[in-house]
Structure 1
Amino acid sequence: MASPFDATSTTDDVLAGVDLSGKRILVTGVSAGLGVETARSLAARGARVVGAARNLAKAEAATAQVRADARHGGGLELIELDLASLKSVRACADALLAAGKPFDLVISNAGVMATPFGHTADGFETQFGTNHLGHFVLVNRIAALLTPGARLVNVASSGHRFADVDLDDPNFERTAYEPFVGYGRSKTANILFAVEFDRRHKARGVRATALHPGGIQTELGRHIGAATLEAMVAKINADLAAGGKPPFQFKSIPQGAATSVWAGVVAKADEVGGRYCENCHVSEVTDGLINPIAEGVRRYALDADRARALWAKSEEMVGERF
């Protein structure tokens, strides 16, 4: 069934008429951008949102509108989470488990992009460690809190097309580091994690999906210089013009967060489970060279065997089995 929504749809469009009273939702990365808008739109429909952020003071200031828009019993509480530190991740998970309150939806939204080469507190390459391993540990530790009918939504990216995961050298110990290759690996990992989590949990009614929110100007791009961004957009527009298409336009933040809430509460579970979504619909597999903003997901990002191998490698890296 075709979705009535598209790239221009906003969170308010997608959630029009939806009542989330009584639902409890975890959203990571609520100190800026998509995370704040995701939390706002859900709380405005009555959801009790738990917002996770590394900097609680920043998150407190950034989420004033979330509280102002909350309706029908909806609201927001904050919890500290630094995805670049497994000590912080485990402390966050322990606190949520101790509270014992179930979740109807987890949206793994936080992340970093195209960072200079570096390492997390645990020695992992920054992007793979933050974007994938941090969420991998958090979600698996609180998986018991996801009740039948619940969903996991991983915010990935079309940037997964830059690179498949490298299970032999995940920390760039033998490979020359390229910021967007590192980003691509981490975003492919987000998708593969959703594929395997969905396989493991769908029998008990818990589903998982991943998505590309679109091109949005947020703090995520802090490591990309203005000149680099301008050159990237110029190349995209040249490709679009050659194909007789209009120039690229960035999405607004409410448009960028729309696919997260669509996949989390509006789309049918069987439609999105184990799949990759963008522009409020499920994407088709597209291999080969394509325009960088064209729709489509690489086959390797949905490969079930690759997903199982990544899970095993991730367990080995973090020293836990789930």
Structure 2
Amino acid sequence: MSQQFGAKSTTDDVLDGVDLTGKRVLVTGVSAGLGVETARALAAHGADVVGAARDLAKAERATAVVRDAAAQGGGSLQLIALDLADLASVRAAADALVADGRPFDVVIANAGVMAPPFGKTADGFETQFGTNHLGHFVFVNRIANLFKAGSRVVSLASAGHRFSDVNLEDPNFETTDYVPFEAYGRSKTANILFAVEFDRRHKDRGVRATAVHPGGIQTELSRHLDPAFIQQWIERLNAQAAAEGGPPFELKTIPQGAATSVWAGVVAPADEVAGLYCEDCHVAERVDGDSQMSGGVRSYALDPARAQALWALSERMVGETF
């Protein structure tokens, strides 16, 4: 890669000099945080952005900045309704896009939920696995025929995948005790494994997929967490970092957090990031062990056999074969 970026790089940094005129990009979760910034940066560089959100009224308000950027940069913004926790909504949104027929160059599966109390989606799935993984699984697969050669899928995962591998025997916590961050870890590992298997299935026709970790950012994603818990968690990370001789943990700004998504989607060479996990605008190394501080990706999250098994389980759960 000709230019190197890192943890402090912003969306504007990685897109400097990049012209996205004529590119059509879909971003889920454009009612707040990373989704809004991702859409703003892309539209500012000329992309035609389709933003998906559960609450369209909230998204309309949140994306005023995106419309301003689009007006100045030559891009555009269209909003569509998409509730990833309800497969009827997912299928309706996907079917409408397929009926429209216009192709996508990039799809950024950004929306998600983190560490809520135990709950279930409209279809009876554990909330985090159902929303973060199964909702996107159905949505992206249903619109896959709109991806032309050269298109990419970016699946937003997290360093939280280190909390847990997927549980193929009990995805809905029916026989195991629900632990919010374990459930989050399962869903984020699933996001990575989805990218691995989607890439394997579509690379022969020139469509690639990658997973990214945006970094630690203070957004609405943490709305289910007590601020005191967040502070204690950061203190624990810093204590571990000091013990390991590393630098203290730093929260990213939202433009820094969204940078890896746009870098992986439109800047990095596709064959260098496809089927892999990226963080801080580079491909992460495989790192196994107990540390939650160091960067990297756990081996189980890139296991091709695990990815295929999760795909098969996901098809059974949603009652649809792709």
2:302 paired with 1:302: yes
Quote the Cα distance in structure 1 between the aligned partners of 2:298 and 2:2: 21
- Aligned residue number for residue 116 of structure 1: 117
Task: Report the secondary structure of 2:307's partner residue.
Answer: helix
**2: distance between equivalents of 1:119 and 1:293?**
31
Partner in structure 1 of residue 192 of structure 2: 191
Corresponding pairs, count: 321
Does the 8 Å contact 1:158/1:297 carry over to 2?
A: yes
Q: From the superposition, tell whether residues 117 and 35 of structure 1 become closer, same or farther in structure 2 (CA, over 3 Å).
A: same
Could you tell me which amino acid in structure 2 is paired with residue 131 of structure 1?
Answer: N
1:66 equivalent in structure 2? 66
Task: Name the CA distance, whole Å, in 2 between partners of 1:118 and 1:72.
Answer: 42
Provide the C-alpha distance between the structure 2 equivalents of 1:24 and 1:171, rounded to a whole number of angstroms.
35
Provide the identity percentage: 72
* Partner of residue 157, structure 1: 158
1:253 and 2:254 equivalent? yes
Q: Helix, strand or coil: the match of 1:25?
A: strand
Amino acid at match of 1:26: L
The reply to whether residue 242 of structure 1 matches residue 243 of structure 2 is yes
Deviations 1:78-110, CA, capped at 9 Å, x for gaps: 000000000000000011011100000000000
Equivalent residues in 2 for 1:123-202, closer than 5 Å:
123-202=124-203
Q: Letter of the 1:81 partner, please give it.
A: L
**Offset at residue 240 of structure 1 (A):** 1.6
**Shift in Å at residue 73 of structure 1?**
3.1
Distance 1:166 1:131 in 2: 15
> Does the 8 Å CA contact 2:241/2:293 hold for their aligned counterparts?
no
Q: 1:250 to 1:93 in 2, by over 3 A?
A: same
TM superposition shift of 1:245: 3.3
CA distance in 1, matches of 2:189, 2:245: 30
Task: Give the TM-score of the pair, scaled to structure 2.
Answer: 0.98
Answer yes or no: is the 8 Å Cα contact 1:163–1:188 preserved in 2: yes
Secondary structure of the 1:257 match is helix
Aligned 8 A contact 1:156 1:191 in 2: yes
**Alignment check: 8 A CA contact 1:158 1:293 kept:** no
TM-score w.r.t. length of structure 1:
0.98
Cα root mean square deviation, aligned: 0.9
Alignment of 1:74-89 (within 5 A): 74-89=75-90
Distance 2:293 2:49 in 1: 31
Report the counterpart of residue 53 of structure 1 in structure 2: 53
What are the Cα deviations for residues 9-34 of structure 1, in whole angstroms up to 9, with x where unaligned? 00000000000000000000000000
* Paired position in structure 1 for 2:101: 100
Q: Is the 8 A contact 2:165 2:186 kept in 1?
A: yes
- 2:92 is aligned to 91
User: Per-residue displacement from partner, 1:30-71 (whole Å, max 9, x unpaired)?
Assistant: 000000000000000000000000000000000000010114
* Equivalent residue, structure 1, for 2:32: 32
* Structure 1 unaligned regions, length at least 5: none
Give unpaired runs (5+ residues) of structure 2.
none
Query: Contact 2:198/2:209 (CA < 8 Å) preserved in 1?
Result: yes
Distance in 2 between residues matched to 1:310 and 1:31, nearest whole Å? 29
Write the distance in 2 (CA, Å) between the matches of 1:3 and 1:299: 27
In structure 1, the partner of 2:212 is: 211
The separation in 1 between residues aligned to 2:143 and 2:166, in whole angstroms, is 25
**What secondary structure does 1:244 align onto?**
coil
Question: CA shift at 1:248, angstroms?
Answer: 1.6
Please say which of residues 293-302 and 184-193 is displaced more in the overlay: 293-302
- Match of 2:95, as an amino acid? D
**In the TM superposition, what is the alpha-carbon distance from 1:293 to its structure 2 partner?**
3.3
